[in-house]
Amino acid sequence: MAGLAPVRLLRAAGLAVVLTLTGGAALANAQIRQPERFEPADSIEGNYLAALIAGSSRDTSAAATFLREALRADPRNQELIERSFIAFLADGAMPDAFRVAERILQRDPTNGLAQMTLAVRAIKNRQFQQARERLRGGGRGRAADITSTLLTAWAFAGAGDQTRAVETLERLRGDGAINTFRDYHAGLLLDVLGNTAEAQKRLKTTHDNDPATLRIADAWGRFQSRRGDFAGARETYERFNRLLPNHPIIRDALETLNPSKPGVAPRALPRTVSNAQQGAAEVLYGLGSAGNREDNEAAIVIIYLRLALYLDPAHELAILTLGDTLERAKQPDDAIAVFDRMPATSPLRSNAEVQIGLGLEQLGRKDEAIQHLEAAIKEDPDDLEALSAIGGVYRARKDFARAASFYERAIATIKTPERHHWSLFYARGITYERTKRWPLAEADFRKALELIPENMGANRALVLNYLGYSWVDQGINLDEAFAMLRKAVELKPRDGYIIDSLGWAYYRLGRYEDAVRELERAIELRPADPVINDHLGDAYWRVGRKLEARFQWNHARDLNPEPDDLPKILRKIENGLEDEAKPASAVAEPPKKNDG
């Protein structure tokens, strides 16, 4: 659990989808139909084996279902009890998890996760003394100490004991991030208990030390607004907006503080946390979102976020983070169910709607995906995220003309393009290039390079690769094109697709030895890619290594190439290449790789 050290509550750049306007209220009450995905087996052995397979693939719902059946058949099996406990927590099946936690503690009273789980239930039920006793009886370790200390402080706060709550928090000592986390919760806690002066000191200090974290900026701005300092609150939000423009929570706060409608006065924003239950949920959310950056901690991240939502079912960032975690764990069904819990009034509801649509697409429910995204656009025709998402869906389906039309609508909503809009111009450029509208494509690629920050090297490499290769393919701007491709390789030296572009560019210009060198590097990084194998076969043939060329073409044939490429590969296996290479303009264009 070392990965749970609270380096940040939520880094500004950590939200994958945060560009939309508010909206989606009409969609918020729609129920997403979840088809049946699995049925219990007929035997305990079958259910146990199915649970193991589901657990290894991080399918928490399936694991919980199979273990529930297995445990019913063998209720005293300790291994089943412990596995079931984790599965129930990860699936959000809290009544089952609480029952199993009690059974675990009968055998092992020092089980830290079981004690913390029952402490969370006690906090939910306002049994604050019982919660503190549970937290004292848990396991030890750095992450456990941080969690239990923060939850204990909120349990004291729930009982109205400010002195002991603050004393408990002050026991947290560590690096700057841990101290910031401590002061953040101290400020929230003191505000709930009515000690406004001390709360102001803590929250201001926290914000001064870390103004680039969304949750901290939002908490400080909300506090300022409730104190009547609307100008100060606006500056707090505008400062964050300069760092990460158009975040929906920030946009919504600024609209409340500075209404666009004439005659409407600014209003104070509600507290981030209003009671001990929400404070404890904020602890679990903060630690879970920090641990979310460690892939090997996915299970405990999901558990912390599930417990946070048990305490505060409307915690919008916990919903978004849990949905994103489940999505990355390749559990789109579960992710959709979580995203659908986003409150209708949340400025993040539009984000959730987009993620639901993308999840439906991932599940192969293609008509539903388009219908869902189109409904989001109907709700708000200027929803930048929904427009770009449906463009991405059509681009993935290779319907480039339709994708371009949605990207055009998305970009039309932008008054002044900013840094974070680079990906929209890049995506539209790809659709223009694929639909043979090169002047428009080139303009978009140049715009993307103009917008994208220099420190986003991996993303710059994508644009440099696409534009540089396209120039080589057309035999224009060759010096600049090769400079771009070399820069792209420098920025992403382990990207086999980009190295393949450089190698194929050498091939197109007849520099076959250089092509072989780069394509061999690419094949080391992407040995199972049919296009790179095909390219290397061509390069081998041109330098006289014909046996090796046929080996690569055979390998490309066996790697499930695109249907349009397979006949060409088969002809080369049979007949080889022509004795003389065709000029670059006459060579069949290979598909672009790694286009984002």
DSSP conformation letters of 369-391: HHHHHHHHHHH-TT-HHHHHHHH
Examine residue 541 and state whether it is found in any structural domain, yes or no: yes
Give start and end residues of each alpha helix (H) in 194-331. 196-209, 214-226, 230-243, 248-257, 276-291, 298-311, 316-328
Domain-terminating residue out of 224, 241, 257: 257
* Residue 263: per-residue pLDDT: 73
Spatial separation of the C-alpha atoms in residues 590 and 95, rounded to whole Å: 56
* Residue 392: per-residue pLDDT: 96
* Residue 446: per-residue pLDDT: 97
Spatial separation of the C-alpha atoms in residues 142 and 112, rounded to whole Å: 12
Examine residue 463 and state whether it is found in any structural domain, yes or no: no
Domain ranges, residue 129:
2-29+32-257
Q: What is the DSSP string of 484-546?
A: HHHHHHHHSTT-HHHHHHHHHHHHHTT-HHHHHHHHHHHHHH-TT-HHHHHHHHHHHHHTT-H
Examine residue 181 and state whether it is found in any structural domain, yes or no: yes
Low-confidence ranges of the chain (pLDDT < 70): 1-60, 62-75, 137-144, 292-297, 579-596
Examine residue 449 and state whether it is found in any structural domain, yes or no: no
* Residue 462: per-residue pLDDT: 95
Tokens standing for residue 8? 């940040």
Domain-terminating residue out of 257, 272, 303: 257
Spatial separation of the C-alpha atoms in residues 2 and 162, rounded to whole Å: 29
323-352 in b/e form (b: 16+ CB < 10 A) is bbbbbebebbbbbbbbbbbbbeebbbbbbb
Examine residue 36 and state whether it is found in any structural domain, yes or no: yes
Nearest to 309, CA basis, from 294, 330, 288: 288
Give start and end residues of each alpha helix (H) in 125-195. 128-136, 142-158, 162-170, 176-192
Residue 452, sorted as left (phi over 0), alpha (psi -120 to 50) or beta, turns out to be beta
* Residue 185: per-residue pLDDT: 97
Domain-terminating residue out of 257, 290, 324: 257
Nearest to 186, CA basis, from 177, 175, 176, 200: 200
Examine residue 172 and state whether it is found in any structural domain, yes or no: yes
Examine residue 337 and state whether it is found in any structural domain, yes or no: no
* Residue 582: per-residue pLDDT: 45
Expressed in percent and rounded to 5, the helix, strand and coil fractions of the chain are: 70, 0, 30
For residue 42, give the H/E element and its range.
none
For residue 442, give the H/E element and its range.
helix 438-451
Query: Longest C-alpha distance within the chain, in Å?
Result: 88
Examine residue 14 and state whether it is found in any structural domain, yes or no: yes
What is the number of structural domains in the chain? 2
- Please report, for the domain that includes residue 204, its CATH number: 1.25.40.10
Residues 64, 37 contacting (CB under 8 angstroms): no
- Beta-bridge partners for 213: 11
